[in-house]
Structure 1
Amino acid sequence: MKKETRTIVYDEKLKIEAYLLEGIVQPFPNHFHEFYVLGLMENGHRYLNCRHLEYSLSKSDMILFNPNDNHGCAPIGDETLYYRGLNIPQDSMLDIVEDITGQRKLPVFMKNVILDEDAKSYYQPLHEMIMQGSTEFEKEEYLYLLLSHLLQNYAQPFDVITPKSNNELEKACDYIEKNYAKRISLDEICQIANLSKSSLLRAFTKIKGVTPYRYLETIRINESRKLLEKGIQPIDVAQQTGFSDQSHFTNYFSSFTGLTPGAYREIFLDKNQHDE
């Protein structure tokens, strides 16, 4: 039988708590929380009772608990539970919702259980980055993308503020292009552009087709190519282009190009030697 593990991480920047339950077989009695709970079933089957409704939970189901939503669950069958959870205090939720909607009101999620691939695609990397202690502002992006999506689709009524003009966005792009080698934050970019985090994200994805963090990483990768082509060592390229470490650089470079930085560099070393 797999050992039960419970891992909890509090993110000081986001002011939310992430936890991971692995190999869990115990039932949880009827209870409620004072905070919001966003959960994702990664494995297992569970019976859930929430607000007098009954659900059968399985892989990829997401859970949305409002504060004071009473709920309890128990295992179905022999599969153990693998579950990701995020606990969001009401004050933190208020700050984010105000940024997204312009209204400082706590949302009420109308559904407690959803199956939504878009929400899952935001949730999983967000949760993993919190658990790993990531300091990249991509983590904030995923939180805002997730909550914007949930507010628009499962909380009523909420309108999203329309992004401002291209001038603000170009200021943000210019700042990223000039400072890509430094560790910059989402707060800095928002201040330069005079946009909220939510408005900045929507403007970028609408006009540029990518998030601010992906824009930053693309700039870094493009610059790193130029340095590798000159024969500079990958470890030095990582430092000169703003990556937190060589492993981070290698992972991103490989995902963009299909080659490791070392293999890419070798191509141009061979070419230069042949030209000579």
Structure 2
Amino acid sequence: MGDGRRVTHGRHSHETLSVGVITGGRSSYGNGAHAEVVDSGVIVIMNPGDVHVCNAIDDGAWSYLMFYLDPHWMGRVQCELRGEGSAAFRPYATAALRSPALAAAGAQLFAELTDSDNDRFRREMGVTDFAGLLDAVLAPGPTAGGDSVKTERAARHIDMLFAKTLRLDELCAIANLSGSYLIRAFKRRYGVAPHEYQTNRRIQFAKARLRERIPLAQVALEAGFADQAHFQRIFKRLTAATPGQYRG
């Protein structure tokens, strides 16, 4: 996350697919021959090697989030979502667009990546989900559908191992789907991403154990939380009550 007044850039490029989310203020943006003024809610997209520049206007305040995605990995995401044979990265033709969905997803991803409560599974899911949404917005194609049996296999796996540390590639193997495709299909089937489904399963289990008057520290451990403080934060966020208040 950056404050655009603190750094003045010259025209430069990156080896990555660079995606910026303008979160406040206004700035000038140039990408090759493209030039415009961008403000809050605008997404800027720089393909690998694109020479670009983005600076404050008259030293005015502006802020942004930046994500740098490996183009080889993103090429595989594109291939999986579009059903195309080559995994080579396909540059995007759009240099900037206003997309509330992408802006919200970028803010959510930043929060997930910087939240110390989140484990690798949740962060990995967040990045993969954002990449899938990015490609769907910039190069819309067929939606993930018709894979309810496969996503249900992934859900049953989470049901059995909800207290364990899971990995995205583990669920992909169970469902026989790619990461981006699995997340989109799972959200269509259950309304939440797999990591959110797992968290809710943990809370459901914890509620049952709390009703049995099990000590909080033991419930936190059995449900798969790192410690009691982590358990209490997540429990209150999802139920609007602390575990002690819920138990009564």
TM-score (norm: length of structure 2)? 0.87
Query: Residues of 1 paired with 2:165 and 2:228: CA distance?
Result: 15
1:45-84 map, 5 Å: 45-84=26-65
Q: State the structure with more CA Rg.
A: 1
Q: 1:85 aligns with which of 63, 66, 70?
A: 66
Query: 1:123, 1:142 within 8 Å by CA — same for their partners in 2?
Result: no
Report how many residues are paired. Answer: 245
Query: 1:164, 1:199 within 8 Å by CA — same for their partners in 2?
Result: no
Aligned pair 1:22/2:3, yes or no? yes
Return closer, same or farther for 1:242/1:214 CA change in 2, 3 Å cut-off: same
Paired position in structure 2 for 1:171: 153
Query: 1:101, 1:161 within 8 Å by CA — same for their partners in 2?
Result: no
Query: Residues of 1 paired with 2:11 and 2:101: CA distance?
Result: 30
Paired position in structure 2 for 1:251: 233
Query: 1:28, 1:74 within 8 Å by CA — same for their partners in 2?
Result: yes
Paired position in structure 1 for 2:200: 218
Aligned pair 1:128/2:128, yes or no? no
Letter in 1 for 2:99: D
Q: Which stretch shows the higher mean deviation, 109-118 or 130-139?
A: 130-139
1:202-241 map, 5 Å: 202-241=184-223
> RMSD of the TM alignment (CA)?
2.2
Query: Residues of 2 paired with 1:254 and 1:45: CA distance?
Result: 37
Q: 1:107 aligns with which of 76, 86, 90?
A: 90
Query: Residues of 1 paired with 2:79 and 2:145: CA distance?
Result: 15
Paired position in structure 2 for 1:198: 180
CA shift for structure 1 position 179? 0.7
Structure 1 counterpart SS, 2:76: helix
CA shift for structure 1 position 38? 0.8
Moved over 6 A (4+): none
Return closer, same or farther for 1:241/1:150 CA change in 2, 3 Å cut-off: same
Gaps of 5+ in 2: none
Instruction: Tell me the alpha carbon deviations over residues 83-111 of structure 1, each in whole angstroms, 9 at most, x when there is no partner.
Output: 21111122222232233223313132222
Instruction: Tell me the alpha carbon deviations over residues 222-274 of structure 1, each in whole angstroms, 9 at most, x when there is no partner.
Output: 11111112222333212111123333322321222111112212x2xxxxxxx
CA shift for structure 1 position 160? 4.1
Q: 2:166 aligns with which of 168, 184, 197?
A: 184
Return closer, same or farther for 1:202/1:74 CA change in 2, 3 Å cut-off: closer
Query: 1:25, 1:75 within 8 Å by CA — same for their partners in 2?
Result: no
Instruction: Tell me the alpha carbon deviations over residues 164-221 of structure 1, each in whole angstroms, 9 at most, x when there is no partner.
Output: 5433222212211111111111221221222221232122122222221121111111
TM-score (norm: length of structure 1)? 0.79
Letter in 1 for 2:234: Y
Q: Percent identity?
A: 26
